[in-house]
Amino acid sequence: MTGSRNPEEVVPKLVSLQDDSLVLIALYDQDDILRYANKSWRAAFHLAPGEEPGWSDLMRRNYNAGLGTVLTTRNFDEWLVSTQSRRGKAPFRAFETDLVDGRWLWMTETVQQNGWMLCIANDITPLRTDDRRLRQDRDLALRASQTDELTGVANRRFIMTKLEELVDRELTPDRTTRGCVAVLDIDHFKAINDRYGHQAGDQVLRDFARNAHSFVRRLDCFGRIGGEEFMLILPETPIETGLDILGRVLEHIRMARPLPNWPELVYTCSVGITALRSGDTAQDLFARADLALYEAKLGGRNRISVI
């Protein structure tokens, strides 16, 4: 009977079969570093045996070389921020993707609570294509409904859904931290608009989103909730770790020079952060983070306040 077989015999056979399968299989860790890929995956995305790049590094390399996934964008960095705002944020996701070699894949992503992600892709090129445009239009519409048009990060609707999910998570013996939430606001943004114009203000918003997003881990969710205000959700993260991450964000923003025509322009941001407490609703958590932000503003801006 299969139940009596030694796992030490079964696991190597399973790995061997996966490696030789025509199905594309890959495993990424919580930092989006490739930890396993079978031969089919490596061939499709032009990976050498044993190579374990980060997902964003691999996508950038293939984009520059015209290999791997078809990316219809002229600005890779904007595409990357937009895609990472959705990648790995749901326990399961399925979508279609094209490869430069002409193949058409059906891709699934299964994400554990610790951030590890299993990716499986099947070649569906031979299937009927007359409905393909409809499915692609559907996927594009879904992406647009979750993305802030100006900055490319998650929009208010998407991030508020993730806030609700954070509150709804239950503690288990191996999960003793429920996470924290921060609200970030660009300091003196109206003065930037008034002095340099609204187009310059838009550039500052995009610069802030890109710089802040570079510190977002795959388990986290970052998005624009309105105007010059953004939210960062940090699941399963103690407040001390959240403060460390946000401290690095503030330091990075202080060094940013978003307007090449006005190199003298520097800007800062203020942050309010709070940890999820037992009995909190999403509105409770948001209100408390917003109050912490208010305290940071009253305290002189360019700082982090904790409640």
Active-site residue set: 228
Backbone CA torsion sign across 171, 176, 179, 180: positive
Q: Show the 3-state SS of 221-290.
A: EEEEEECCEEEEEECCCCHHHHHHHHHHHHHHHHCCCCCCCCCCCCCCEEEEEEECCCCCCHHHHHHHHH
User: Within the chain, what is the greatest distance between any pair of CA atoms?
Assistant: 77
Q: Rounded CA gap, 186 and 208, in Å?
A: 8
At residue 147, what are phi and psi to the nearest 5 degrees? Answer: -120, 135
According to DSSP, residue 4 is labeled G
Tell me the C-alpha to C-alpha distance, in Å, between residue 94 and each of 159, 179, 192: 20, 27, 41
Among 89, 84, 87, smallest CA distance to 160 is for 89
**What sign does the CA torsion over 112, 114, 116, 117 have?**
positive
The encoded tokens of residue 69 equal 């996934």
What does the alpha-carbon distance between residue 304 and residue 70 come to, in Å, rounded to a whole number?
Answer: 41
Residue 192 CA to its chain's centroid (Å): 28
